[in-house]
Amino acid sequence: MSSLAGLPPAYWSLAAGVLGLLVGSFLNVVILRLPARLQHGWVREAEAILAEARGESAPQADPASPAPPGIVREPSHCPHCRHPLAVRDNIPVLSWLLLRGRCRYCRAPISPQYPLVELLTGVLSAVVIGHFGPTLQGAAALPFTWVLVAAAGVDLRTQLLPDPLTLPLLWLGLLLALLPVFADPVQAILGAALGYLALWSMYWAFRLLTGKEGMGYGDFKLLAALGAWMGAWALLPIVLISSVVGAVIGSSYLALSRKGHGVPIPFGPYLAIAGWIWLLAGPALTHWYLGFFLHG
């Protein structure tokens, strides 16, 4: 262990980057399969409730519409020809490049989402360990980063922020506060409660004024999780950063896609970006802000 601790920081960052590439491959599976699994479960629950209300027995599973593939057990396969993928087809980023973005078996195009998520997760993981080093904070910031990547990916594709991602992130933040790692217990509890209530209040105010839903409940839970990790004092900067990032990216997307302003844009990815930035650079940004406005 002492020899490992003496390794140069670059080695730790490189190892984290490689680990991030591998985890990114799994996150692609989560992004693609988790929403389908959840939706299938919701349909089955609704059918059971309706059957119970009619006094009927619970409906049997329909062989014509089987459950979507599981996240862990079912091996990777081409979504077009359903051919199982070999190990050589699952090398992060490299396989996509060597195959030129097409399936080896049916030559159907492979979404660039796969290498992009893998590369993003690898780079962010390397940055995290480069910033925190091989410390408890670094070890905690890695799963924090991975969950944010998965949550943002799911939200971008489906406009859902699933509880299986946001709630474990919330509870892990509260548990880490017992040590503490990033925020003390009081700040973590206040951050979780105020984070949820802040967006919940905005949601209902917007709905009462316009009759429309401006965001989803998953956004409340994600901000609550960020508050649990970084404390109540981080909530306002996170919301401000996410609003700025959302305004820049959202307006650019609408301009390039030439879509109307009524197109719904998920807010979760912007919260994820802002939360990740604040976890790594919160103190530095605070110091810059105070120095710029108070002394400049």
Model pLDDT for residues 206-259, shown as the tens digit of each residue: 888 888 887 889 999 999 999 999 999 999 999 999 999 988 887 777 677 666
- Does 31 have pLDDT greater than 60? yes
Look at residue 283 in the predicted model and tell me its pLDDT: 83
pLDDT tens digits, 132-165: 999 999 999 999 999 999 999 999 999 999 999 9
Backbone angles phi, psi at 268, to 5 degrees: -55, -45
Point out which residues pair with 77 in neighbouring strands. Answer: 84
Q: Sign of dihedral through CA atoms 245, 249, 255, 260?
A: negative
Burial 261-275 (b: 16+ CB within 10 A, else e): eeeebbbbbbbbbbb
Q: pTM of the prediction? A: 0.91
The lowest-confidence range among 20-34, 39-53, 91-105, 173-187 is: 39-53
Given this model, what pLDDT does residue 296 score? Answer: 53
Mean pLDDT of the residues in the chain: 88
pLDDT digits (tens, 9 = 90+) for 122-141: 999 999 999 999 999 999 99
Taking phi first (over 0 means left), then psi (-120 to 50 degrees means alpha), and beta for anything else, what does residue 55 get? left
Phi-psi region of 258 (alpha: psi -120 to 50; beta: other; left: phi over 0): left
CA 178, 183, 188, 190: dihedral to nearest 10 degrees?
130
Dihedral over alpha carbons 122, 145, 244, 220 (to 10 degrees) = 150
**DSSP secondary structure code for residue 62 in this structure:** -
Task: Return the higher-pLDDT residue of 6 and 160.
Answer: 160
As a whole number of angstroms, the distance between CA 198 and CA 129 comes to 31
Half-sphere exposure of 270 (CA within 13 A, CB side): 19
**In the prediction, which pLDDT does 77 show?**
82
